[in-house]
Amino acid sequence: MGETLSVLARGGLLVLDIEYAYAAPTKGQRAYVGRASRRAWKEADLPKDCPSHVHSNEFLEPGAKHIPHVAYPRKDNPTEVPASNYYRKQVKKGALWAADAATARECGAKFDPTFGGDYPNLVKAARKRGKDGNE
C-alpha cells in the first residue's frame, strides 16, 4: 500500500481537501482536490464551465466583510493526496479520477486512461504508461 495517491478532479465534482481543512487557520476558505481557486468580485469575471460559489453580499449585517465569488477550475496535472480511506473512497465511487493504474488498483477502481475526456492533454502520457502504470 502506497503512502500517496495520484488523482485528478472529475467533471464538475468537488472533493474537499481535508488536509487543507484541518490545517492551521484557513479563515473559512475552501479548497478542493485537483482544483485551483479563482476569486473575483464580479460573477462575469469568473472562469466559465467550472464549479463556483457565488456569494450574495447584498444582505450583510452592518460591519460584515464582503466575500468575493470563487470558481474552482481543474488543475492540469495530477495531485498527490494521502492514501487515506477518505480519498480511496472518493476514487472508488468516481468523485476523483485515478491518475495512474497503481492508484486505481489501490482504490479498487478501474483505470480509465482517457479520464472520460476531461484531460485530453494527459491521455497520450497515460496510454504510454500502459495498463500496469509502468513507463
DSSP secondary structure, 27-65, as one string: TT---BTTB--EEESSGGGSPSSS-EE----TTPPTTPP
Same domain, 85 and 61: no
Q: pLDDT tens, 25-80?
A: 756 667 999 999 998 988 899 998 899 888 776 676 777 776 788 899 999 999 99
pLDDT at residue 135, rounded to an integer: 41
Same domain, 17 and 42: no
pLDDT at residue 71, rounded to an integer: 92
Same domain, 20 and 67: no
In this predicted structure, the answer to whether residue 13 has a pLDDT above a threshold of 90 is: yes
Task: Domain of residue 98: give its range.
Answer: 1-26+77-135
Q: pLDDT tens, 100-135?
A: 999 999 999 999 999 999 998 888 766 555 455 444
pLDDT at residue 9, rounded to an integer: 97
Domain assignment present for 48: yes
Domain assignment present for 17: yes
Same domain, 133 and 82: yes
- All cell numbers assigned to 119: 484531460
Q: What is the tally of structural domains in the chain?
A: 2
Same domain, 122 and 100: yes
Does residue 81 contact residue 93 with C-beta atoms inside 8 Å? Answer: no
Does residue 74 contact residue 11 with C-beta atoms inside 8 Å? Answer: no
Alpha carbon 53 to chain centroid, angstroms: 15
Mean pLDDT of 72-98: 96
Same domain, 66 and 85: no
| Model confidence, pTM | 0.81
Same domain, 2 and 67: no
